């Protein structure tokens, strides 16, 4: 996994995949129930991102892109809302 995330202001923070899961689940409250991402899928998305960033120092933008791609691949038609939650509540 990525040991550190480089924030937009240039500072480093520890990578925490649980924050990605929490943000995806929070975003579920903003979409109709039929479009919500189940917790187990949110965990799987976060785990995939963890593997893709293993051994790297990833930027917020890289993590955001990976989450966005994973949500689109998941079939979420409301992936933009999920991304907004992730950017606001996790990565900034």
Query: What ranges do the domains of the chain cover?
Result: 4-91
Give the pLDDT band of residue 88 (cuts 50, 70, 90): low
pTM score: 0.77
**Residue owning tokens 């409301």:** 78
Q: 81 and 37 in contact (C-beta within 8 Å)?
A: no
pLDDT in tens, 3-36: 888 988 999 999 899 988 988 888 787 777 877 8
Count, residues in the chain: 92
Q: By C-alpha distance, which of 87, 79, 39, 40 is closest to 63?
A: 87
């Amino acid at each position: 996994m990525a040991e550190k995330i480089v924030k937009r202001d240039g500072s480093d923070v520890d990578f925490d995949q649980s924050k990605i899961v929490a943000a995806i689940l929070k975003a579920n409250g903003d979409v109709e129930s039929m479009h919500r991402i189940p917790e187990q899928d949110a965990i799987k998305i976060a785990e995939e991102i963890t593997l893709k960033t293993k051994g790297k120092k990833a930027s917020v933008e890289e993590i955001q892109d990976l989450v966005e791609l994973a949500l689109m691949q998941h079939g979420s038609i409301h992936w933009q809302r999920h991304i907004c939650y992730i950017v606001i509540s996790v990565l900034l």
